[in-house]
């Protein structure tokens, strides 16, 4: 068995869609980044890559490579799932937490879990998404950005 951890953070900016867990969420700001900046998916990808002994998402999907400009992170997650499988591992579970003051994420969690599990070809019961605020503290609490953590368990 192997365990991986991932972390990601992106700033919030105007005139960008907010995409979390492969889902576009109505909000006046979106996350800034080279791809679609899905902070939740990015944390999950890094946890899986780390557990499989593979290099991080910056190496796998480098900024500046035109094929990843505004790319769908959920599609990149599908690729990561295939990379993990090619190393001889099976994903047993993924647990993640999104840190954001706004918008409220609870109404979207089930759909996010379904998107993530489909991308990884595992059961939705093997994927958990949680959300929390920082009660107004720090850059997430001030609405300047969002962060996410993820852990996973792989089995040979």
User: What are the pLDDT digits (tens) for 85-129?
Assistant: 999 999 999 999 999 999 999 999 999 999 999 999 999 999 999
Distance CA 39, CA 18 (A): 10
Q: Which CATH superfamily is domain 2-155 in?
A: 2-C-methyl-D-erythritol 2,4-cyclodiphosphate synthase (3.30.1330.50)
Global model pTM greater than 0.95: yes
Asked, as a colleague might, if the bond just before 144 is cis with ω within 30 of 0, I would say no
User: What are the pLDDT digits (tens) for 39-87?
Assistant: 999 999 999 999 999 999 999 999 999 999 999 999 999 999 999 999 9
């Amino acid at each position: 068995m192997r365990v991986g951890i991932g972390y990601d953070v992106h700033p919030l900016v105007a005139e960008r869609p907010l995409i979390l867990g492969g889902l576009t969420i109505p909000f006046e700001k979106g996350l800034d980044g080279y791809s679609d900046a899905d902070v939740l998916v990015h944390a999950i990808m890094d946890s899986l890559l780390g557990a499989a002994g593979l290099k991080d998402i910056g190496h796998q999907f480098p900024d500046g490579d035109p094929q990843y400009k505004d790319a769908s992170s959920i599609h990149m997650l599908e690729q990561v799932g295939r990379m993990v499988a090619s190393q001889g591992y099976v994903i047993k579970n993924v647990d993640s937490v999104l840190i954001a003051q706004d918008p409220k994420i609870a109404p979207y969690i089930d759909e996010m879990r379904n998107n993530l599990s489909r991308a990884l070809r595992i059961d939705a019961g093997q994927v958990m998404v949680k959300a929390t605020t920082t009660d107004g503290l720090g850059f997430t609490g001030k609405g300047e950005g969002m962060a996410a953590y993820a852990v996973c368990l792989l089995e040979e």
